[in-house]
Amino acid sequence: MAIIERPSAEIAVAGAAPSGVKPSEALGVFKRPAASTSWKDWLVTVDHKKLGIMYGVAAFFFFIVGGVEALLIRLQLAGPEGKILSADQYNQMFTMHATTMVFLFVMPMVSAFANYFVPLQIGARDVAFPRINAFGFWCWLFGGIFLNTSWFLGGAADGGWFMYAPNSSTLFSPSHGIDFWVLGLQITGIASLTGAINLIVTVLNMRAPGMKLMRMPIFTWMTLVVQFLLLFAMPVITVALFLLSFQRSFDATFFDVAAGADPLLWQHLCWIFGHPEVYILILPSFGIVSEIIPVFSKKPLFGYPIVAMSGAAIGFVGWGVWAHHMFASGLGPVSVAVFSMATMAIAVPTGVKIVNWIMTMWGGKLSFTVPMLFAIGLVVQFTIGGLSGVTHSVAPSDTQQTDTYYIVAHFHYVLFGGAIFGLFAGFYYWWPKIFRKQLSESLGKWNFWLMVIGMNMTFGPMHILGLQGQPRRMQVWTEARAGEGFFNIGFWNRIASLGSFILAVGVLLFIINIIYTHKSKKVAIAPLDPWDARSLEWMTANPPVEHNFDSIPTVNNLDEFFHRKYAEDPNTHEVRQVATAEEVLAELNAHPDEHIHMPSRSYWPILVSLSLPIICYGLIYNRLLMGVGAAFLLLTMFGWAMEPSTAPDDDFDPPAPGEGGGHTKELAPLG
């Protein structure tokens, strides 16, 4: 741990880069890396903002990988008897498309936003365990890369992302694809678990003075709920993956019917994880749009406590609906009825959110910036996905719809129309905060409309395909069985394929927008508070300084930043501006904390996590390599444990009563 010590006069200049920062002397033989501006700094950083950016960049790369996989799938299905992919390649493609989008795009992209903004939104200087935060990122990245190397090593997993037993056993999938899949997800799972604990501790312990739970921004609220979901869901999939791994690598018989196993065990484990996972993917986007809609409506979130509590309610009820993925699995009528009712029940808190977003806009002063457009896009498209969800909560209807394209349509409306639109809303909204420049609004509008058209054209027709009885995961469809007339599945498959390319062009425009914004001289640096925002993360420089806040703000209101800028007349309810964002920030920075405690960089997170793929390659190819990896793991763990803390002991003392208002020494992140 290091201390950034500097005289308060030096940071009195608002927005100036922290000068006079000296990495403290390292103790012992294990030195800690010093701060630098080179690329190497990114390898050893423990800064939540840098880790957030790295999560975002890497996750977006995997978004493109998963998107290309999706386009290949749609190309294959664009005509009858598709020849683009063989059956084997097609099965790998849809398995990896889902795996990539879920585990390597949406989840880490959520981590990107959570990492970057949760500490800022709660007025903290970093997360509670910065080294573990870095460790999580590298685990996820190495796990994702490991998983994708299977493409070049004999083929990727081909059992579907749900990986039902016994089709996942070596008898039915003899290539190493599923081994890579199991082990890769095991590694990325470590990132989810450590990240969950880290963010829970951060949110519960490191909020700025005055920020009660019910004053937290809703994005932080949703992130908190999601971290609890992860904390309890990841162990389930971890156990399931271990069972499968032992079955494949060591001839265990957990799912071997001949040895007396019941393959439904896998399904239960898979979905006890898998259904909360759905909420893990969507709730953060609910959080993002719950930030954005109030900003661009100039009104607080309507029914804030209900939105927060309905998120928590979804988190609870979400545990009791997993078997609705198994209505055709032969559960028996009592179980089916119970899970059918529970699934209907979860529609209530979800519907509440939609009502609250609309009511937030009701009576507001709406400006349709790109983030707002994406947020409204989520509201509309998620509604469609939610309502189709209600149609198959009715278990008997679901036995007609499950495993058809109707389900594919449903969850893409939820996850693409909902979760991914939410993430894009977040990209456009927070871009100036992270990168100082605002993405082009006009290019952004093209981006938005092409994505809306593409997404509805791709997934809308899939409702029809499913109701016409086209099953999922079919490598080909044939003209002879396509039916006739307007609703023949051939026509709608072609429309869906066409739509997917329009969608791809929409996403491409986002990339072009980034390049244009940062290359063009015409795009100026964004103002400090370009959207007239409401929450604490905007009460910092663009981008925030390494320690986020020169002095930790005291929070008196929900939407603290807004209330520092505006005052409402208690009688006439007239709202008028009393300060600019610059003035608010200057006032906050006028009395910087004297004693800012920041974690030091560390070599060990990246090294410890590097040992995990080595062990996994060893498990697949060579047990000796596994030993090498294990030795490397032990060695690097020792290095981590012995890494010196460079903070003096008194830095951990509780603040003396009355010292500097009681919050100059915030709860220190444990480096």
Nearest to 557 by CA among 582, 539, 583: 539
Question: At its nearest, how many Å lie between other proteins and the CB of residue 607?
Answer: 37
Smallest gap from Cβ 393 to other proteins, in A, equals 8
Nearest to 200, CA basis, from 108, 128, 92: 128
Angle between helical axes of 48-76 and 107-121 (0-180°, round to 10): 150
Q: Which is nearer to other proteins, 109 or 376 (CB)?
A: 376
Q: State in angstroms the smallest separation of the CB of 273 from other proteins.
A: 19
Alpha-carbon distance of 413 to 386, in angstroms, equals: 8
C-alpha to C-alpha distance for 198 and 456, rounded to whole angstroms: 37
Q: Measured from the CB atom, is 223 or 393 closer to other proteins?
A: 393
Contact 26, 646 (CB under 8 A): yes
Q: Which is nearer to other proteins, 62 or 405 (CB)?
A: 405
Q: How far is CA 431 from the centre of its chain?
A: 16
Which CB atom, from 198 or from 402, has the smaller least distance to other proteins? 402
Token pair recorded at residue 225: 């709920």
Between 344 and 630, name the residue whose CB sits nearer to other proteins: 344
Helix (H) or strand (E) holding 58: helix 48-76
Residue that is written with structure tokens 């739509």 in the block: 499
Nearer to other proteins, 112 or 370 (CB): 370
Q: 415, 423, 345: which is closest to 381 by C-alpha?
A: 415
What is the Cα–Cα distance from 651 to 459, expressed in whole angstroms? 56
Adjacent-strand bridge partners of 567: 576
The pair of structure tokens assigned to 351 is 């519907």
CB of 116 to other proteins, least distance (A): 27
Amino acid at 370: V
User: At closest approach, how far in Å is the CB of 596 from other proteins?
Assistant: 33
Closest CA to 385 of 421, 422, 418: 418
Least distance from other proteins to the Cβ atom of residue 559, Å:
8
Give least dist CB 304 to other proteins, A.
6
Compare residues 403 and 651 and give the one whose CB is closer to other proteins.
403
Evaluated on CA atoms 574, 576, 578, 579, the torsion sign reads positive
Nearer to other proteins, 131 or 299 (CB): 299
The gap from C-alpha 606 to its chain's centroid, in whole angstroms, comes to: 21
Nearest to 340 by CA among 398, 271, 382, 282: 398
577: burial class by Cβ within 10 Å (0-12, 13-18, 19+)? exposed
Closest-CA residue to 97 (of 473, 462, 507): 473
The closest of 123, 104, 130, 163 to 50, measured between CA atoms, is 130
Of 238 and 340, nearer to other proteins (C-beta) is 340
> Using alpha carbons only, how large is the chain's radius of gyration in Å?
26
Query: CA dist 602 to 43, 133, 607, 645, Å?
Result: 9, 11, 10, 11
Q: Nearest-CA neighbor of 631 among 649, 648, 614?
A: 614
Angle of helix 107-121 relative to helix 130-149, nearest 10 degrees, comes to 170
CB of 456 to other proteins, least distance (A): 5
Residues ≥6 apart with Cβ < 8 Å to 572: none
Minimum distance of other proteins from residue 577's CB (angstroms): 8
Nearer to other proteins (CB atom), residue 132 or residue 336: 336
Q: 66 or 490, CB closer to other proteins?
A: 490
Closest approach of Cβ 420 to other proteins, in Å?
17
CA distance 294 to 300: 5
Nearer to other proteins, 125 or 392 (CB): 392
CB of 133 to other proteins, least distance (A): 34
Cβ 360 to other proteins shortest distance, Å: 9
Contact 632, 600 (CB under 8 A): no
Closer of 347 and 505 to other proteins (Cβ): 347
Residue 276 CB, nearest distance to other proteins (Å)?
Answer: 21
Q: How far is the CB of 439 from other proteins (least distance, A)?
A: 17
For other proteins, the closer CB: 305 or 662: 305
Cα–Cα distance between 356 and 358 in angstroms, integer? 5
Contact (Cβ atoms closer than 8 angstroms) between residue 254 and residue 296: no
Check residue 38 and report its DSSP letter.
S
